Structure 1
Amino acid sequence: MVGTALEWFEFTLYNTMAALIFNQLFFPQFDPIAGTILAFSTYAVGYLSRPIGGFIFGRLGDKLGRRDVLMLTLVLMGACTFAIGLLPTYATLGVGASLLLVALRFIQGVALGGEWAGAVLLTAEQASIRHRGFQASWAQVGAMVGIFSGTAMLTLFTAFVSDERFVDWGWRVPFLLSFFVVAFGIWLRRGVPETGAFEQMSKDGETSAAPITEVLTGHLRNLLVAAGSRIGSDVVFGFMIAFSLTYLTQSLGVNRTVAISAVMIGVAANGFGCLAFSALSDRIGRRPVYVAGAIASALWINVLFVLFETRDPLLIIIAISVALVIHSAMYGPQASFVAEQFVTRVRYTGCSLAYTLAGAVGGGLAPLVFTTLYREFPGTLPLKAYIWATLAITIVSVLAARETASRPLKD
């Protein structure tokens, strides 16, 4: 959980900056909305590069082990985050600054593409059958802890630093502090043991010679089910933690601190929801909880925009918090659900590809699609339609899978 939190802490710093000020720092020659679209394009790069990380680290995770791969992804993520804090802006380097930002974002995405599956498998492969959903969900909670911590740091920082100073130099400080975050993460992960499932497989000489090929040829249906189950939840999440900041601050004129605080509170609620709904999925099954979360998300999105339009801070907090609690009904059980779709010899690769491919199609493009739709079409109906369509994909994918709760992991 803590290792995943550290990586998402760093990823969140970029996501929030892209929503708030990177359009000014790296794309100032465009109007605010166009600049935001370009800033979210770099946000998308961090997701579109994840499948590369899934291919690279998924294969290594199935051949070399879960823990060592997680160490490497943490170092890569931290080095890129620290480097972003040192980047010259467009005013100093011109388009070169924008290109460097995209390059670092690309490597960040590659690193995170190998992170999720390893973190999930460290728990899922050692969990008891009766509590696997709950225990695996701690990796999901780690993402919320990282997002909450990153958002909290920015909220606190912006409260004491003027907007002028924040744009001038203050935005760099959280990125530079990632050095200490990575040092702690490396120390922590050195003490994590390898999973028994992988060690037994290695001892028996049953590791896959070509895990990527094996997944694509022998487990393609499972890959499509696992990836499809993530798309809707990723789009909802991308809307809540990225585009909602832009929509609230730039379109509705809501104070930046209010918007960030609302997301932070919602993310905290999501973390608790992940544990609760994952425990529920151990009792009644993954599919009922997952599908209920998707349907509830589709219904709540109508209420959410109405509450946003009030511009009332309390109602905005309620809107985002309820949305992210509902989202946790999908996100919490997701860890065990995806891991349960694959056999041990290709589980790291299968989970990585499902996670990264869905992230590229869903979460990575979501803020960019939302911003473009909002710019080109009046009203919020196109935004809602996009969310509804992706949630429909998730519902169909989950229903296409067999129930996996209370069953042993596939050997």
Structure 2
Amino acid sequence: MDSVAGIPANDANAGLGQTDIPDDKKMTKLASASVIATALEWFDFLIYSTASALVFGHIFFPTLEGALGTIASFGTLAVGFIARPLGGIIAGALGDKFGRKGPLVASMVIMGIATAAIGVLPGYDTIGIWAPALLITARLIQGLGVGAQWGGATLLLTEHSPIKRRGFYGSLVQLGAVAGIIIGNAFFLCILLFVDENAFIEWGWRVPFLSGILLVAVGIYVQTKIEETPVFKSMQAKAEIETANTDLPKVSLLNAVRKYWLQILQAAGAFFVVNGTFYIMISGMLSYGTANVGLSQKTMILVVCLGVATQIFTIPFFGKWSDNHGRRKIFLVGTVLMAFWAFPFFWLVDTGNPFLVTVAIIVGLTIHAMMFGPQAALFAEMFPADVRYFGASLGYQIASVFAGGLAPMIMVSLIEATGTSASVSVYIIAMAIVTFVAVYSIKERFQANLHETTRDIAKRETLEKENTVA
């Protein structure tokens, strides 16, 4: 293979455009922008999760009582997840063709507008059936936005980072999601501390949603201050040499799915138990802890915040650990431990003791971090550069529909149908089996050359076959 832009093609590591000694100032700037953008985006997306558990049943589905109202509320939560694969497909196609930064910025603007709209949306008592209809519409738009965001933020860091710190920097994107949850739940907790329950249901829940407009400002910052990734620049350089212009060789979405369908399904399966248990612990538990265990809303929000706060340390830890020991092995260990923890988790929660509930969630989220931390680097290394945004995003978002989006609703439905939390434990184990099989089947490309495109890989494989025959 010929060298491109002065990069020796026969050196897998040199092709990264990254050294083992990071440009600390540049990476700090990139990491800060990525974490803040991800935190705000997930703050917007996940305050919906908290509001679904606490108030949306009263505001938008007042004709449904008890568990039915909660299930309907979680149903609108799932709608946002259904839209996420479409957001991932659109952003992936654009990101692989025109750059990683543009879709990321667009996702922030879309998310900010949709979230602010929910904050001013009248309830069922004011406009009747239009209230839940408009809520679902806004949630769909939110889903498109967050579906586009993860791939852009992930590649912004992993494609800039030094090869031997890719897992660590990739984990910071995941850390942004955790920060968004903490800020969102802390926001709700503060409101509950200063207003009574009636005021919270009447107007207090709207305040976090109105802050969504901040995403627009962050999007403008990212657009003007952050440069495109070295990987995308190298693809443009290759296109200039191979096609005498800067247009990238076209890889149709149909061809990308046909050629990399297995990797897409593997990525989706890998995220299954990660996403499902996450929403069970941060959203489903808010409803379960208050309705079934008897703890107050304030106590449950505080417990979830404490549990999630531990991931500020555990996610980067496991991301960094994967830089030394590989992604796949750590991921598999986390999957097995999550299956083993499924029953003890609910045994502790069902005691109704706030301390034991906190222990259950902290241990669960620590196991979750074993998978969530290395995930960004694992997914980035699974796909060649010209289909990476599309492939990683689609796999991630497919799982978000069937695991994360449905998990709280399935949890409430299982408990309603069986009368026991043991059914949810079995559900967690089933998701863990799906993830274990998916991750075990992945051919890990630990510290792979992220600059390789589909064409580069085909050339390399052809040369390897010719050398083997010779």
TM-score > 0.5, shorter chain as reference: yes
C-alpha distance 294-132 of structure 1, shift in aligned 2 (>3 A): same
Aligned-partner residue type, residue 306 of structure 1: W
CA shift at 1:406, angstroms?
Answer: 3.0
TM-superposition CA deviations, 1:343-383 (whole Å, max 9, x none) = 00010000110111111111111111111111111212221
CA RMSD of aligned residues (A): 1.3
2:382 is paired with a residue whose SS is: coil
1:204 is paired with a residue whose SS is: helix
Distance of 1:16 and 1:26 partners within structure 2: 15
TM-superposition CA deviations, 1:313-334 (whole Å, max 9, x none) = 1211111111111100011111
Counterpart contact for 1:62–1:208, Cα < 8 Å: no
TM-superposition CA deviations, 1:1-25 (whole Å, max 9, x none) = 1111110011111110001110010
Aligned-partner residue type, residue 280 of structure 1: W
Counterpart contact for 2:108–2:215, Cα < 8 Å: no
- Residue aligning to 2:174: 140
Among 298, 301, 308, the alignment partner of 1:257 is 298
Specify the structure having the higher radius of gyration (Cα): 2
Distance of 1:186 and 1:123 partners within structure 2: 18
Aligned-partner residue type, residue 88 of structure 1: P
1:12-411 alignment, distance < 5 Å: 12-205=46-239, 207-409=248-450, 410-411=452-453
Give the TM-score normalised by the residue count of structure 1: 0.97
Counterpart contact for 2:106–2:219, Cα < 8 Å: no
TM-superposition CA deviations, 1:52-81 (whole Å, max 9, x none) = 101111111111111111110000000000
C-alpha distance 207-99 of structure 1, shift in aligned 2 (>3 A): same
Distance of 1:67 and 1:406 partners within structure 2: 23
Distance of 1:408 and 1:209 partners within structure 2: 21
TM-superposition CA deviations, 1:63-115 (whole Å, max 9, x none) = 11111111100000000000001100001011110000000000100111010
Distance of 1:244 and 1:80 partners within structure 2: 26
Counterpart contact for 1:208–1:346, Cα < 8 Å: no
1:405 is paired with a residue whose SS is: coil
Percent of aligned pairs with the same amino acid: 39
CA shift at 1:210, angstroms?
Answer: 3.9
Distance of 1:211 and 1:254 partners within structure 2: 52
Distance of 1:358 and 1:184 partners within structure 2: 27
CA shift at 1:257, angstroms?
Answer: 0.8
Aligned-partner residue type, residue 334 of structure 1: Q
CA shift at 1:253, angstroms?
Answer: 1.3
1:193 is paired with a residue whose SS is: coil
Aligned-partner residue type, residue 402 of structure 1: K
Distance of 1:323 and 1:133 partners within structure 2: 21
Aligned-partner residue type, residue 329 of structure 1: M
> With CA pairs under 8 Å and 6+ residues apart, which has the higher RCO, 1 or 2?
1
Counterpart contact for 1:6–1:185, Cα < 8 Å: no
C-alpha distance 152-181 of structure 1, shift in aligned 2 (>3 A): farther
Counterpart contact for 2:343–2:422, Cα < 8 Å: no
TM-superposition CA deviations, 1:239-295 (whole Å, max 9, x none) = 011111110011111011110111111111123211111111111111111011111
C-alpha distance 211-126 of structure 1, shift in aligned 2 (>3 A): farther
Unaligned segments of structure 2, at least 5 residues: 1-34, 240-246, 454-470
- Residue aligning to 2:26: none
Counterpart contact for 1:274–1:331, Cα < 8 Å: yes
- Stretches of 4+ aligned residues off by more than 3 angstroms: none
Counterpart contact for 2:39–2:177, Cα < 8 Å: yes
TM-superposition CA deviations, 1:190-228 (whole Å, max 9, x none) = 311110110121232273524422321111111111111
Distance of 1:298 and 1:230 partners within structure 2: 14
Unaligned segments of structure 1, at least 5 residues: none
